[in-house]
Structure 1
Amino acid sequence: MKAIRKALTRLSGRFRARKQPVISIDDPGLRVVVSAFDEAEAASSALGRSAQWRADEPAVLRHHLVVPEHEVATAQELLAPDGWTLRTGGEVAEQGEHFDAEGPGTVVALRVQVLDALHCSQESSRMAGLAQRLGGRALGWDALQPAPPEAG
């Protein structure tokens, strides 16, 4: 009887997981719903002040980092096993911070996940530590979600 109950629990978990909206880091319909570029602000505060963030839906979490260009491959190797994609450039560079080709540049680490304050804080600490070890710095993070479905 316990084996049947366990099997049903696993199956129902898989069915529930499929009902989650599927998004990709490249989804063109994504928009920023929360951002945190002040290292003194708690993730819970950043998430709490967002009227657009939907806690029960997946989001693309983006960490904006500055790392020396010769360390980008190392950063990718360290982040890839946990599902992070690393891309060069990013919005921070477009907003006025410019870096020369010989110096550090901006990279963005992206991953789809359901956001909560604990995991945002843990990942922020991890990214700050990684950037520092590679001779750079963490600038902050933001999260993107698709626009909510229109009520009709």
Structure 2
Amino acid sequence: MGLLGRLRDMLHRQDEPVLSIDDPGLVVVVEAFDIAEADSAALARSPQWRADEPAVLRHHVRIPADQLERARELLTPDGWTVSAPGVAGDISHISRVQKLDALHCAQERSRMASLAQRLGGEALGWDALQPRPAAAR
């Protein structure tokens, strides 16, 4: 990519709203917990998902507590955050901010399934969160 392309990308990124995985204004806009459903179908059935805006992609996984630190070591370099299981259960969340599309959702779903299996756990599915639209606030 040439200098002009890199400058254009830098300017475009500065215009994008900053999104954080723990933003209290986030709402679930799409869910995919059925392994038989394609990620493209999950995205297509969601009227709330806004493809042109960043989202928090959040994978729901069961990973043994003694393997959570290993999961963090493997995922943090790629921008993922691994949460500890909640008080009410043994499900952890693996999250990061990104633009969603069917290809990347499918790739990450496969990656999380592989990771969970290697660490003695299981991937349950994913959901995506975005801020409420301005009109709904």
TM > 0.5: yes
Sequence identity (%) = 61
Query: Which residue number corresponds to residue 91 of structure 2?
Result: 106
Partner SS, residue 88 of structure 1: coil
The residue type paired with residue 17 of structure 2 is P
Query: Which residue number corresponds to residue 133 of structure 1?
Result: 118
Query: Which residue number corresponds to residue 3 of structure 1?
Result: none
Partners of 2:98 and 2:129 lie apart in 1 by 10
Query: For 1:70-129, what per-residue CA distance to the aligned partner results, in whole angstroms no more than 9, with x for missing partners?
Result: 111111111111100000125xx85xxx4xxxxxx2110010000000000000000000
The residue type paired with residue 21 of structure 1 is P
2:83 to 60, 84, 87: 87
Partners of 1:118 and 1:25 lie apart in 2 by 21
2:43 to 39, 44, 47: 47
| The structure with more radius of gyration | 1
1:71 to 67, 73, 77: 67
Partners of 1:11 and 1:141 lie apart in 2 by 34
1:30 to 21, 26, 47: 26
The Cα of 1:9 is off from its aligned counterpart by 2.7
The Cα of 1:131 is off from its aligned counterpart by 0.4
Partners of 1:129 and 1:7 lie apart in 2 by 38
Partner SS, residue 150 of structure 1: helix
In the alignment, does 2:55 pair up with 1:59? yes
**Which consecutive unaligned segments of at least 5 residues does structure 2 have?**
none
Query: Which residue number corresponds to residue 101 of structure 1?
Result: none
After the TM superposition, which of the residue ranges 11-20 and 131-140 deviates more from structure 2? 11-20
Query: Which residue number corresponds to residue 120 of structure 1?
Result: 105
Partners of 1:13 and 1:75 lie apart in 2 by 31
Please give the TM-score of this superposition, normalised by the length of structure 1: 0.84
Partners of 1:70 and 1:143 lie apart in 2 by 27
The Cα of 1:26 is off from its aligned counterpart by 1.0
Please give the TM-score of this superposition, normalised by the length of structure 2: 0.93
The residue type paired with residue 78 of structure 1 is L
Partners of 1:47 and 1:31 lie apart in 2 by 15
Partners of 2:35 and 2:120 lie apart in 1 by 18
After the TM superposition, which of the residue ranges 17-26 and 58-67 deviates more from structure 2? 17-26
